[in-house]
Structure formats: C-alpha cells, structure tokens
Amino acid sequence: MENFNFWDFEVWGVFNLIAVLLGSLLAANSLKKLIPALKRSLIPSSVLGGLLLLTASVIYEAVTGKILFNTNFFGGNGTGVMEILTYHSLALGFIATTLKPSSGKFGKQRSREIFDTGVTTVSTYLLQGVLGLGITILAALIVKEMFPAAGVLLPFGYGQGTGQALNYGNIYELEHGFVGGRSFGLSIAAFGFLSASIGGVIHMNILRRKGLNY
C-alpha cells in the first residue's frame, strides 16, 4: 500500500485544480466588470474563465512541452479529474434548471410550444447524426485508421453536451476499439460549446439590438 505525506501533491492536486478553476471564474468576472466591451457582451463568466485557462495551458505547453494540468501541482492527472468534474457538473446544472418554478399556466398554446420544441430538437439530433456519420464514413475511405461510426458522436457533443460525448466516446473506445474515442468525444463537445458560446452570443446580441428578448 502506497503511503502519502500530508504535503504531497497527490493529496492536494484536486484542491489545487478546484482553486485554479474558481480563480479563473473570479478573474473572468473581474474582467467583465472592468472592460466595458465584455460588460456589454453576453459572454458568461464561465466561458471567459475557460478561455483564460485554455490560453494559459496552450502557452505553457508551447513553452515547456508538457500539459499544464497533468503536472505534479495538479496531482499528475488533472485532465482526468476535470473530465469527472465536467461530467457530473453538467448533470447537476441540468437538474438545477428544472428546480425553477414556472410562472406561466400550462395551456394549449404551451403544449404546442413544447411539442414543436421536441420535434425540432429530435430533428436536429437526427440531422447532426446523419451528417456526422456521412463525414466519418467518407473520411474512413481515405484514412484507414479512422473509425467510421465516430460521426455519431456529433449530436452528443453539439446537442447533449460534454458528459454524453465523453461517455459514448469511452464506450466506443472500450467496446468497439475506437482508439482515442474519449478525446474525440471531448473535442466534438468543445467545438459544439464554442459554436454555442460564440455564435449564440453574437446571435443574442443581434436580437437584443433589434429589441427582441427571448
């Protein structure tokens, strides 16, 4: 049985990681209050904080050749810990959104809106799945190492979020031999998150300028 000292990084790695994540949120919130352009924008502090950490990690890897969050300061496996935090935090986030009471009455108009939203969501997932699967099948014809069914992860990454993309990427990797399935799923989810954060924020700002509030 391996022994750990109280001052070892293996003991404090998770706490250091959480402290850095919380520090990035504080830094992002401060920037939004100090910079007028960021204050007027609809960029969430969490997204801005994530971009700050992403920039820092890219610079660190370019200078040292090592992954920032896998250093001894973060216990040697910070990326694995962040995968777990992301997976469970997203689930808690979705649960928290349902705890807010609805002020409107449930009538026929509301029923139609819910039905239309459901049909639109399912249709979007289906379109993403067919498009992603078609792209990876064509890519597999060119690159022999490409997993042909990898495109099915597209609706999970863009529609369901990081947790589901990671989960099914892991299933593909363990049960179907898709080497790097976890990383591929997380990459798809990251692109989906950036698309929503950048494109969605731009779209919301355009609607706000037109006087439309949703």
What 79-84 contacts at long range (C-beta under 8 Å, 24+ apart), as own/partner pairs, is: 81/13, 81/14, 81/17, 82/17, 83/166, 83/182, 83/186
Return the number of other C-beta atoms located less than 10 Å from residue 143's C-beta: 10
Strands (E), 30-188: none
Q: What is the arithmetic mean of pLDDT over 123-129?
A: 85
Position 155 scores a pLDDT of 85
Tokens, residue 178: 């898709």
Position 1 scores a pLDDT of 45
Q: What is the arithmetic mean of pLDDT over 134-149?
A: 84
What would the pLDDT profile of 4-48 be if each residue is shown by its tens digit?
555 566 678 888 888 999 999 999 999 988 888 887 777 778 888
What would the pLDDT profile of 79-122 be if each residue is shown by its tens digit?
878 877 877 776 676 677 667 665 556 567 767 777 777 788 78
* C-alpha span between 136 and 124 (Å, rounded): 18
- Within a 13 Å sphere around the CA of 115, how many CA atoms are in the beta-carbon half? 7
The torsion region of residue 96 among left (phi > 0), alpha (psi -120 to 50) and beta comes to: alpha
The torsion region of residue 180 among left (phi > 0), alpha (psi -120 to 50) and beta comes to: left
* C-alpha span between 25 and 96 (Å, rounded): 19
Who's near 208: CB < 8 A, 6+ residues apart?
A: 42
* C-alpha span between 69 and 78 (Å, rounded): 5
Position 27 scores a pLDDT of 92
Sequence length of the chain is 214
What would the pLDDT profile of 146-202 be if each residue is shown by its tens digit?
888 888 888 888 877 677 787 788 888 888 888 888 888 878 887 887 787 777 778
